[in-house]
Each structure stands twice: as structure tokens, then as C-alpha cells.
Amino acid sequence: AAELEYESVLCVKSDVNVYRIPPRTSNRGYRASDWKLDHPDWTGRLRVTSKGKTAYIKLEDKVSGELFAQAPIDQYPGIAVETVTDSSRYFVIRIQDGTGRSAFIGIGFTDRGDAFDFNVSLQDHFKWVKQETEISKESQEADTRPKLDLGFKEGQTIKLNIGNMTTKKGGAAKPRVSGSGGLSLLPPPPGGKIAVPPIPPPSSTAIANHVTPPPVLKSTNVNSADILLDLDAPASASKAPASATTDLWGDFSTASSAVPNQAPQQSNWVQF
């Protein structure tokens, strides 16, 4: 109802001529050359308006704006507005008064551009009317069709795949801890401790090869030969087999006896 009460202006032309036309005797159409084009019967302003789906051609006085005639149009092209066969600047319109009487008159524009604007304004309006009719028809057909229910039924669930985790809607994913090598490990229990692997004991072979020289007793009587014996002892001990680990002191005794042309000296070693 509010849309029908609203009136919009589609086109306004300040100069239009109105002619009285003879009645049409055949179906061949109207010809502007049959009118008295040099002597128009009325001159004024033309205004095209729309109210709802109906358009109106209003002929008004240029100065006062008083309505001279009005032609309601419910279809274009149609009987309410017709073009002539010999010109694009002249039209035949059907005017009506408030009592229901109607008459056909001719209108013409001095400028060809004004006639073009008048024609386009009517075409655009009824193109919009056609689109609105099709939209309303489709909406009515959509209301009668059964509606598609895309909602979840009671107890129905959906499964979502996010990366490598598979969860159900409404559920929480279990955390996973990734270890070295791309393996997934479970998290440690609360309060638990991670056991540190024990350090392996040194091998017996390394202990056997490592010979600690005995302490050298301080004495004022030790000569240079005793110093040489001390230097040669580790070299001969390293050549001993690894199995002879029980008699460490015997290696030093052997080294001292192997020195050639050496006078026997008093040994300061304590024998056990």
C-alpha cells in the first residue's frame, strides 16, 4: 500500500506540442503528416511519473503547472501510447478524465533527443515491472514447494578430519606428544620421573693398559742410572701383554736388568 501511494518522476520535458488528430479509418497506423504540424492546438510541459506499476503522462502548463490532460499507461508498447509510422518525434496517447471518458491526441517534440528520452523512460519502467512480476511469481512458487530440511536430526553426529586428528563434533581431541624420529609417545603420568640410563663401567682392557708408575723415593744417593731406569720403565711396561696385570712391579725389575754394561747399584725399591 505504501508503494502504491508513492509517486516518482521518470522524465520531464519543458516543451511539447499537442495536436488534434482525425479518427483512424484503417489499421495501417497513424501518420504525423496528416496533422497540422505548423499549428499545434496546445503547447506546454510534459512530465512522466510512476505510481506502483502504472505510469502516467501528464501535460501541464509551463508557468502555473496546472494539469491539462493525463494519460495512464499500464503497458508499453500498447494502445495507450503508439508511435507514428513516418516520424520518431511524434506519438499518439490516450488521455482520460476522472469520469472514465477517453480521447486520442497527438504529441510531438521539437528536439529528437527529447523524444528519445520520453521513449526510454517508459521502456525502463515497464522493464522493471516485468522483473518484479517474475520475482514475485518465483517467490510464490517457492512457498508452495516442500522445503528441504538440512538440519541435524536427534542423535545425528558429524565427523571432522583436521590434519591427523579425527574427532567427533562436541568432543575434545586427546593430546599426543611427538618424540624423536616422528614417533608419537604418550605423556608421562603425573608426578612420574624419567629414569636416566646408567653410565657403563670402564672396560678391564683400558685399566690393564693404564699403568701408574710407582712413587719415586727421595734419596740423596740416587745416581743418573736410576733416573734412566725410571724413564725406560713405562716403555717396557707398555709392551707387556694385557693379561699380566697381577705383577706390576716385576716389569720395573726386568727393565733394570736389561741395561748392558751397567754396574750393579744399590736398589732403593722395597720388595714385598
pTM of the model: 0.51
The CATH number of 7-134 is: 2.30.29.30
pLDDT value for 136? 83
Our CA angle for 150, 153, 158, nearest 5°, is 80
Q: Which residues of the chain have pLDDT under 70?
A: 1-5, 142-143, 145, 164-272
Helices and strands of the chain, counted as H and E runs: 5, 11
Cβ-in-10-Å burial (0-12, 13-18, 19+) of 266 comes to exposed
pLDDT tens, position by position, 52-105 = 889 999 999 989 989 999 999 998 888 899 999 889 999 999 999 878 789 999
pLDDT value for 27? 78
| Domain limits, the chain | 7-134
Per the rule left: phi > 0, alpha: psi between -120 and 50, beta: everything else, 191 is left
pLDDT value for 174? 56
pLDDT value for 2? 46
Name beta bridge partners: 82.
92
pLDDT value for 139? 79
Give 56-65 contacts, CB < 8 A, sequence gap 24+: 57/81, 57/93, 59/16, 59/18, 59/95, 59/107, 62/14
